Structure 1
């Protein structure tokens, strides 16, 4: 995502889909676990309930189910997709990538359909969108499926009152295709920044090559849990966000007041409130699903997009933006006409 303002790119969001895990977990369950007063967790994290995946609800399963829902909405078959991109904070397994497992679940094992992952934590969807847009407009692909299946609950420390109640699981899918030159749907601009002074603020230290199971099993197990320095993350994000948003909107040639919707990553209620205040947005413009979904990592942005479309808050021809922060600390965003 370079710094020069690009031309708008004809690009159309064909359909979206969602998968909701069966198990709903109310915030009162955390109150009981932590021996807190009734309503403490909901007040603390701003979430009434979220879903947690069961043993049979893997990342690829939830992503594939969301993809099937999107395909049904679009009136398409799975074999009419030219590429599958999976985005996620944590892959289902180290090798192969999650997109391969989604391809198989969609019945495409023998088709050769390209399937690969984009690893940008919570920002996977806008990053994948930016990467795939030139391939669509050049004719390399006609139609691309971007999916997210997140099982955040697999890596939480259940005794951490700052993080355990914040996250939820779920699946999302978005089908994209190149827009026709005579229609309004387009991608106006994208922008991304990474500020690696925050690299340790949100992390899972194990499950890669940095720590090895054979060296210290107990240390490896501890490092397999999600760690977040919430206050430091918020401070750095609050410092960098205004400049980031200014650059994104300037590249698109729009202002916040021009947007029908702003679709953010559902990081936390504090982050959402700050974004709304910083941009001076009316409440109805900022799309919020945090209260009933929690922070679903890379699924948050495409799921919030899905809900905005399903609720009628986003209609064809509307101008909207997607924006978020992720581990790194990184920001990414896109401005589109739906």
Structure 2
């Protein structure tokens, strides 16, 4: 028997403020820029997105998603012994958003007469839109080695804070949100539920095609703190590496694309998802798509899409899922999961 990390619960959360493409068009018109619902949908598949309220942080979104995931898993916060948060929009420079989430989970548990995961290891992972795959891979490895038994893996973003609203080609793409899963140790012969294989990569030669080239120095912002993207370069790289990483992960598990029940991709652009599905010979009916409702929520997009499909009853126990994403860095990766 082999030790695996099994997903026992999922959760997600979106900020209350919802903006349609018409809302974005009106916002941009105030800046003398033009766009339209038709233009955005045709190029991206996005129809709406959610923006966080003033003062609403990544950890606040992560908390709500985490509480949902814990409830779905039938676990209490104090049972968690590992917290990994994937985010490119942390609450502060340090400490990690994961430790802030840990405190908020403890406070939420105390309000119910319990206590939270104080003492659990907690840290952030930064791989932009591939962040959740990286975080899942790390948590899976720690569970397989026996370092952890019950992990909370979260993707949480407030990308609305780093968007350049004078760039109509990028500001319409992104939204805020959070998704979470509970991973628990389980033993079986390889035919049961769990993370069966993962694959993660990066190529730092392409840092400039998707980046926020700013930092804090001497109490001031140094550089540009807003998102920049070369959309054509990202698209060209993404469609190639997504097929490659999916096939690599399947090969590690001794499987092929014909074994897959669902593709749960990073929700960046419907065209990228359609291209990947074609390469893997999967009909779009077996691809989980939420980009139309959420936009690109970066590290939150995969767990958000996963949770929505689980709660809608589309993803069922025993089915085989391919989770994959690409992001700034340039990073990419995938995870094969028996749900």
Provide the TM-score with structure 1 as the length reference.
Answer: 0.90
Q: How far apart in 1 are the matches of 2:290 and 2:227? A: 22
1:142 matched to which residue of 2?
149
1:58 matched to which residue of 2?
57
1:104 matched to which residue of 2?
103
Distance 1:322 1:229, change over 3 A: same
- 5+ residue gaps, structure 2: 107-114
Q: How far apart in 2 are the matches of 1:302 and 1:201? A: 25
Q: How far apart in 2 are the matches of 1:262 and 1:88? A: 22
Q: Which moved more, 1:246-255 or 1:80-89?
A: 246-255
Matches within 5 A, 1:18-33: 18-32=12-26, 33=28
1:234 matched to which residue of 2?
235
Cα deviation, 1:181-214, whole Å, max 9, x if unaligned, reads 2771122211122222211111011125xxx366
Check conservation: 1:309, 1:315, Cα contact below 8 A.
yes
2:200 matched to which residue of 1?
192
**Where does structure 1 differ by over 6 angstroms across 4 or more consecutive aligned residues?**
none
- 5+ residue gaps, structure 1: 1-6
- Shift, 1:236, TM fit: 2.2
Check conservation: 2:192, 2:318, Cα contact below 8 A.
yes
Check conservation: 1:198, 1:236, Cα contact below 8 A.
no
Q: How far apart in 2 are the matches of 1:129 and 1:223? A: 30
Q: How far apart in 1 are the matches of 2:186 and 2:162? A: 39
2:259 matched to which residue of 1?
258
1:298 matched to which residue of 2?
299
Q: How far apart in 1 are the matches of 2:102 and 2:162? A: 25
* Paired residue secondary structure (2:332): strand
Distance 1:135 1:193, change over 3 A: closer
Q: How far apart in 2 are the matches of 1:37 and 1:105? A: 40
2:162 aligned to which of 155, 165, 173: 155
Q: How far apart in 2 are the matches of 1:24 and 1:74? A: 29
Matches within 5 A, 1:28-177: 28-32=22-26, 33=28, 34-37=33-36, 39-107=38-106, 111-177=118-184
Q: How far apart in 2 are the matches of 1:253 and 1:311? A: 30
Q: How far apart in 1 are the matches of 2:117 and 2:290? A: 37
Q: How far apart in 2 are the matches of 1:201 and 1:9? A: 39
- Shift, 1:244, TM fit: 2.9
1:3 matched to which residue of 2?
none
Provide the TM-score with structure 2 as the length reference.
Answer: 0.89
- Shift, 1:224, TM fit: 0.2
1:333 matched to which residue of 2?
334
Q: Which moved more, 1:296-305 or 1:42-51?
A: 42-51
Q: How far apart in 1 are the matches of 2:294 and 2:286? A: 19
Q: How far apart in 2 are the matches of 1:27 and 1:324? A: 24
Distance 1:304 1:38, change over 3 A: closer
Check conservation: 2:66, 2:152, Cα contact below 8 A.
yes
Q: How far apart in 2 are the matches of 1:320 and 1:189? A: 11
Are residues 1:274 and 2:282 paired? no
* Paired residue secondary structure (1:179): strand
- Shift, 1:270, TM fit: 2.1
Q: Which moved more, 1:90-99 or 1:238-247?
A: 238-247
Distance 1:80 1:256, change over 3 A: same
> Over aligned residues, Cα RMSD in angstroms?
2.1
**Higher strand share goes to which structure?**
2
Distance 1:14 1:235, change over 3 A: same
